[in-house]
Amino acid sequence: MLTDLLDAEEAQAGHEALLISADEPDAPFDAKGATIARWRWTEEHTIDGPLPEGAGRTFFLTDGRRNPVDQIEAFKAWLAAQGAELARILCVVHCQLAEKHPQLRAWYDACLHFSDVALLTRRDGVDNKWISDFRARIASEFGPCLVEFIKKGRVHNPALVIEPQARRISHYFDEDADWVFSNADGEEIDPEDEEAVDDEEEFSAAVAEDPYMERRAGGTRRVRELPDIAKFLGA
């Protein structure tokens, strides 16, 4: 699958690179001449690993055994530090695993919330109705997210998958993120409601926090907690 994306016509404009978690085991991989580097997760929950020198289009593979929201949060800071620009976020859905463990729905929902493309793979033996229902739910809950099937480990239309138009519903990476206006008591008000604004002696504006980034009092645990997918993956 990655070979198809790296080999896509649009990806030939520059020197491609592939960043893989240091916790991923070594495996033979034909990167079509792309530079392969490793990143690591630090004790401070940040991403350590610079972009390879001279890299153009780069594929960053998150650690599939860690919390995706924690990695998204760290990735945003890492992206800014590299002076790089986000193109698309791809979510690879292991259909056999998702069907077998319905409790992983919350984990996949979090991934899809931030994703531009959902790539459905490992569909052998999965009930057709489950796949149909899963696709329908993506369409209803994650709107513009593109859904593609992986067949025999191949991407049917790599150019469509890596085309940089944003299709995710999350505004977490957007510069023009939604703003929330509130009064002195912290109550949300409509800035276009002139009467409501005139009644307020003071009001403030802040960028709306992504619902998956919200934390409970104390700041350690998030409001939306996700299952530990590592427990479902085995050794």
Q: What is the pLDDT of residues 174-227, one digit of tens each?
A: 875 554 445 555 565 565 665 554 554 554 545 568 999 999 988 889 999 999
Residue scoring higher pLDDT (9 or 159): 159
| CATH architecture label of 2-170 | 3-Layer(aba) Sandwich (3.40)
**Which pLDDT score, from 0 to 100, does residue 109 have?**
97
**Which are the contacts of 92, defined by CB distance < 8 A and separation ≥ 6?**
1, 119, 121, 150
Provide the token pair at 119. Answer: 């790539």
**Which pLDDT score, from 0 to 100, does residue 5 have?**
80
Indicate if the pLDDT at residue 33 is higher than 80: no
Indicate if the pLDDT at residue 46 is higher than 90: yes
For the chain, give every domain's residue range: 2-170, 178-224
Place of tokens 């239309």: 157
In the three-class reduction of DSSP (H, G, I as helix; E, B as strand; rest coil), residue 109 is classed as helix
Average pLDDT of the residues of the chain: 85
- Amino acid letter, 192: E
pTM of the model: 0.82
How many beta carbons lie within 10 A of that of residue 89, not counting itself?
24
Q: How many CA atoms lie within 13 A of 159 on its CB side?
A: 4
Residue scoring higher pLDDT (235 or 8): 8
% of the chain surpassing 90 pLDDT: 62
Angle between helices 105-113 and 128-141 (to 10 degrees): 40
